[in-house]
Amino acid sequence: MSAVGHAPGKVILVGEHAVVYGRPAIAVPVWDTVATATIEECPAGSGCVIIAHDIDAQVELLHAETDNPLALVVRLTLEKLNLEPNPAWRIEVSSDIPIASGMGSGAAVSAAIVRAIYQRAGADASPDDVSRVVYASEEIHHGTPSGIDNTVVSYGRPVWFKLGEAPEVFETGQPFMLAIADSGVPSPTRETVAGVRNRRERDEAAYLSWFDEIGEIAHRARAAIEKGRMQQLGELFNRNQELLEQIGVSTQLLQRLIRAANRAGASGAKLSGGGGGGNVIALVTAETAKPVADGFRAAGARNVIVTTVGSD
Ligand code: MEV
């Protein structure tokens, strides 16, 4: 019998980068894009092979390098569940989450694999169990991730995240819509995080106050989401974007996309994730979703996803 696991894409609503320095941030899952992992039994003794169609990878668990993220996820999960180290399995992963766009495709693939293995073992995977393994794979890609990406794809719900504290899942006062534009430029998170670190060392006082204000925005954004105050949330997106520009992670292309969204009627827009490329998110309504998506495309977006947050 085959086992299957799923995990969603994600976007960060507010607080990226400052979250690395202990300020709170909010991330939401994007269930319109998912990663799926399935496990099929193979003839005894054939060992475990992981096949990732989207990145054209085929990994034999026994021979994989220690820093292969797919193999690492499988090994850690097998260990955690006290399963044999090289089971006769074919693990296939596929995902329609855009790769390297800041939507957490790597983290979601890892989370889907962990869930499939737990299902195959007949065990319940708590979000924390999944998140811990996914964090280890994120370390390979990003160096020193804050942990927000693995948390949101593992919980699959809006999360309030602060380093060193247990993540909080929270409810939206009313569902809201986001248009997510892929700039088509990969988001080099490792580099943008390192860039912020270097600039901060040269100008600590300024970065401290920008991070503090971003943290304040996260608090106000959570209250706005819980109370269904969308106009306010849009204004907070715009202010957060100004601060992301100050800390040097925005680009001309991202700003062009943001201006296009706001001109087309978005309540607010900002880059989401590491910046330098990746995604822009715009807060939209049923009426403004299409004009904003069209505006994004006309301004150069490679792909646009419209999603509803908090609708389940
Ligand atoms: C990347 O999705 C979010 C950053 O804040 C980095 C991190 O939190 O690890 C830029």
Centre of ligand 1 from the C-alpha of residue 145, in Å = 6
For residue 22, CA distances in Å to 17, 90, 163, 233 come to 9, 40, 5, 22
Average pLDDT over residues 74-100: 96
Instruction: Among 27-36, 49-58, 159-168, 220-229, name the one with the lowest average pLDDT.
Output: 49-58
pLDDT number for residue 1: 66
Integer angstrom CA distances of residue 147 from 24, 136, 152, 168, 214: 12, 10, 9, 13, 18
The finding on whether 149 has its CB within 6 A of some atom of ligand 1 is: yes
Does the structure show a pLDDT above 80 at 312? Answer: no
The answer to whether 3 and 90 have CB atoms below 8 angstroms apart is no
pLDDT-derived band at 54 (thresholds 50, 70, 90) equals confident
pLDDT tens for residues 196-217?
999 999 999 999 999 999 999 9
Q: Is 9 in the pocket of ligand 1 (CB under 6 A)?
A: no
**Cβ atoms 20, 146 nearer than 8 A:** yes
Q: Is 20 close to ligand 1, i.e. is its CB under 6 Å away?
A: yes
For residue 191, the CA-to-ligand 1 centroid distance in Å is 11
Closest CA to 307 of 5, 96, 160, 110: 96
The average confidence (pLDDT) of the chain is 96
The two structure tokens encoding residue 308: 């509803």
Question: Around Cβ 312, how many Cβ atoms within 10 Å?
Answer: 8
Q: For ligand 1, is residue 146 a contact (CB within 6 Å)?
A: yes
Q: Which atom of ligand 1 is nearest to the CA of 145?
A: 9
pLDDT in tens, 260-285: 999 999 999 999 999 999 999 999 99
How far away, in angstroms, is 248 Cα from ligand 1 center? 14
Q: Distance between CA 119 and CA 117 in Å, rounded?
A: 5
59 compared with 55, residue with greater pLDDT:
59
Atom nearest to 102 CA in ligand 1: 2
- Whether 87 lines ligand 1, by a CB cut-off of 6 Å, is no
Name the residue of 146, 153, 271, 280 to mutate for ligand 1: max ligand atoms within 8 A of Cβ. Answer: 146
Q: Compute the average pLDDT of residues 72-88.
A: 97
**Ligand 1 atom at minimum distance from 12 CA:** 2
Whole-number pLDDT of residue 38: 98
* Residues 6 or more apart in contact with residue 262 via CB below 8 angstroms: 238, 268, 269, 282
Q: How far is CA 155 from CA 177, 267, 310, in A?
A: 20, 27, 13
- Supply the residue whose CA is at minimum distance from atom 9 of ligand 1: 145
Question: CA-CA distance, 273 to 196, in Å (whole number)?
Answer: 13
Distance from Cα 87 to the centre of ligand 1, integer Å: 34
Provide the residue count of the chain.
312
Q: Give the residue, out of 189, 240, 280, with the most ligand 1 atoms within 8 A of its beta carbon, to mutate for a pocket test.
A: 189
- In which order are the strands placed within the sheet that holds 176-182? 268-272, 279-284, 176-182, 303-309
Distance 274 CA to ligand 1 centre (A): 6
Compute the distance between CA of residue 42 and CA of residue 87 in angstroms, rounded to an integer. Answer: 9
Confidence of residue 255 (pLDDT cuts 50, 70, 90): very high
pLDDT tens digits, one per residue of 93-151:
999 998 888 899 999 999 999 999 999 999 999 999 999 999 999 998 777 899 999 99
Interval between CA 204 and ligand 1 midpoint (Å): 19
What is the reported pLDDT for 99? 86
Residue 301 in this model has a pLDDT that exceeds 90: yes
Portion of the chain with pLDDT greater than 90, in percent: 93
Measure the CA–CA gap between 126 and 307, rounded to whole angstroms: 25
Give the pLDDT confidence score for residue 31 in this predicted structure: 95
Ligand 1 in reach of 129 Cβ (< 6 A): no
**Residue 170 carries which DSSP code?**
-
Query: Does 73 score more than 70 pLDDT?
Result: yes
Tokens at residue 256, please?
A: 């062009």
Residue the block writes with tokens 């894009």: 33
